[in-house]
């Protein structure tokens, strides 16, 4: 019987998922014994030095359990995503189905799991201090989801601070997943746009470390803002821009993105008016924050010297943090030739983020580049769309094509 490439790939994906489940089962049954034997030097004595005597056995067991649980979920979710994607290539869907919602819920649950497993409260970002408006600059001016936490604490007085924080991040994750999916519909078939949600999750997950109220919100704001910018819906774009500035001052780079993205698509006077409107809104929002929450600085000093020292003396810290991102960026470059001119232009966001991170951020924190996740995902979607178009070049569907030509801004 003749089998198509899609059928063969579906079977291979299903087999991979089953084999991985078997590996997870084997780890659950024998993983602790294996690690214990390695730790004691009973198995592969040459590896005994890897463990050293710095930590007890329980430390390594907990770290391994956490890694297997978190990334096991991501791999299985990836298999589910690919299976549904292959199914949609055989039978396109004209509307959002229950399966799309189920995948979204799965991605949301995995994102929450990463926050729970890998998140921690740093001494420099205490949740109680943030909620008491006594955080250090620049953290105390990133207030959008702090407001939501206050609403939750007011509505349910018995709620703990940590529970309120995690609840706000579930909301932020949900908004980010929805916004990323919307933005992806410009570059990939609408019935395959759930793929973008998985990609965003996979890129973001390794960046999770200490708790903040604003990081996930950055992804949501940038994805929503870029979607509206590409659609030339400028009134809504400005609203998202203003609200997003209350989440993080990094929205300033959206001004740069709009300049580069629209400079050949919009009359100069109207583009100048849009840029001016953004700058006015930005100044007003930032002024309101400094007025109601006075502080002595807009950012934390000494970062430039710290980053230079890090590059010179501990480059491994930078590589370990940014390595996964660089791999994703390299893969995303394969979609460059299929990307629209406007999408290519808004990649200016990345050098802006790099400059900001080097001067006022920390190069060993991959989370500094969260704002570029929607653009990275969009480039990946361009590549996936090109690949799927080759597989089924003549199949038509109401959901089949992304928005090929974007609307020309005229207002």
pLDDT at residue 222, rounded to an integer = 99
CA angle 151, 155, 161 (to 5 degrees): 65
pLDDT at residue 51, rounded to an integer = 63
pLDDT at residue 144, rounded to an integer = 98
Q: Read off the pLDDT band of 399 (50, 70, 90).
A: very low
pLDDT at residue 2, rounded to an integer = 58
Please determine, for residue 235, whether its predicted confidence score (pLDDT) is greater than 80. Answer: yes
Residue among 106, 113, 72, 325 at smallest CA distance from 194 = 106
pLDDT at residue 298, rounded to an integer = 80
Q: What is the pLDDT of residues 238-274, one digit of tens each?
A: 999 999 999 999 999 999 999 999 998 999 999 999 9
Q: Read off the pLDDT band of 396 (50, 70, 90).
A: very low
Structural contact between residues 115 and 166, judged by C-beta atoms closer than 8 angstroms:
yes
- For residue 120, the cross-strand partners are 210
In the predicted model, what is the mean pLDDT of residues 98-119?
A: 96
- 10 Å CB burial of residue 302 (0-12, 13-18, 19+) is exposed
Please determine, for residue 398, whether its predicted confidence score (pLDDT) is greater than 90. Answer: no
Output 8 or 51, whichever has higher pLDDT: 8
In the predicted model, what is the mean pLDDT of residues 221-238?
A: 98
pLDDT at residue 296, rounded to an integer = 82
Please determine, for residue 47, whether its predicted confidence score (pLDDT) is greater than 70. Answer: no
Comparing 24-38, 112-126, 280-294, 333-347, the range with the smallest average pLDDT is 24-38
Q: Read off the pLDDT band of 132 (50, 70, 90).
A: very high
Residue among 103, 131, 116 at smallest CA distance from 66 = 116
Q: Read off the pLDDT band of 99 (50, 70, 90).
A: very high
Comparing 2-11, 233-242, 284-293, 373-382, the range with the smallest average pLDDT is 2-11
Query: Cα(264)–Cα(322) distance, rounded to whole angstroms?
Result: 33
- Report CA 15 to chain centroid distance, whole Å: 29
Output 28 or 390, whichever has higher pLDDT: 28
In the predicted model, what is the mean pLDDT of residues 223-252?
A: 98
Please determine, for residue 345, whether its predicted confidence score (pLDDT) is greater than 70. Answer: yes
Compute φ and ψ for 132, nearest 5 degrees. -90, 5
Q: What is the pLDDT of residues 290-313, one digit of tens each?
A: 999 998 888 888 899 999 999 999
Output 47 or 91, whichever has higher pLDDT: 91
Percent of the chain at pLDDT > 70 equals 92
Output 205 or 51, whichever has higher pLDDT: 205
Compute φ and ψ for 125, nearest 5 degrees. -140, 80
Any idea where the domains of the chain sit in the sequence? 1-91, 94-303
Q: Read off the pLDDT band of 7 (50, 70, 90).
A: confident
Q: What is the mean pLDDT of the chain?
A: 91
Please determine, for residue 151, whether its predicted confidence score (pLDDT) is greater than 50. Answer: yes
């Amino acid at each position: 019987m003749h089998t198509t490439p899609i059928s063969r790939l579906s079977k291979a994906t299903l087999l991979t998922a089953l084999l991985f489940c078997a590996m997870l089962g084997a780890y659950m049954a024998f993983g602790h014994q294996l690690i214990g034997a390695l730790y004691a030097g009973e198995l592969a004595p040459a590896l005994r030095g890897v463990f050293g005597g710095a930590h007890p056995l329980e430390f390594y067991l907990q770290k391994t359990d956490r890694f297997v649980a978190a990334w096991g979920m991501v791999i299985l979710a990836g298999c589910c995503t690919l299976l549904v994607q292959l199914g949609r290539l055989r039978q396109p869907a004209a509307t959002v189905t229950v399966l799309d919602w189920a995948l979204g819920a799965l991605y949301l649950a995995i994102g929450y799991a990463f926050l729970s497993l890998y998140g921690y409260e740093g001494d420099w970002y205490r949740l109680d201090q943030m909620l008491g408006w006594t955080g250090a600059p620049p953290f105390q001016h990133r207030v959008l989801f702090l407001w939501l936490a206050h609403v939750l604490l007011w509505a349910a007085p018995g709620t703990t601070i940590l529970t309120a924080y995690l609840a706000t991040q579930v909301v932020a994750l949900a908004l980010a997943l929805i916004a990323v999916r919307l933005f992806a519909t410009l570059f990939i078939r609408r019935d395959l746009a759930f793929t973008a949600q998985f990609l965003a999750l996979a890129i973001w997950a390794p960046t999770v470390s200490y708790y903040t109220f604003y990081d996930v919100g950055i992804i949501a704001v940038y994805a929503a803002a870029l979607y509206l910018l590409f659609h030339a819906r400028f009134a809504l774009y400005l609203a998202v821009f203003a609200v997003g500035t209350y989440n993080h001052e990094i929205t300033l780079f959206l001004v740069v993105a709009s300049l580069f993205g629209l400079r050949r698509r919009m009359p100069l006077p109207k583009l100048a008016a849009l840029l001016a409107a953004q700058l006015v809104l930005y100044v007003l929002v930032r002024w309101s924050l400094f007025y109601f929450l006075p502080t002595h600085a807009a950012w934390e000093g000494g970062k430039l010297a710290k980053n230079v020292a890090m590059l010179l003396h501990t480059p491994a810290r930078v590589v370990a943090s940014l390595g996964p991102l660089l791999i994703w960026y390299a893969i995303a470059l394969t979609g460059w030739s299929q990307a629209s001119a406007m999408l290519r232009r808004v990649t200016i966001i990345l050098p802006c983020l790099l400059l900001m991170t080097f001067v006022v951020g920390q190069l060993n924190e991959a989370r500094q580049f969260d704002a570029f996740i929607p653009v990275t995902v969009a480039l990946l979607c361009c590549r996936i769309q090109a690949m799927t178009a080759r597989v089924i070049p003549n199949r038509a569907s109401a959901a089949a094509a992304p928005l090929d030509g974007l609307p020309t801004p005229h207002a």
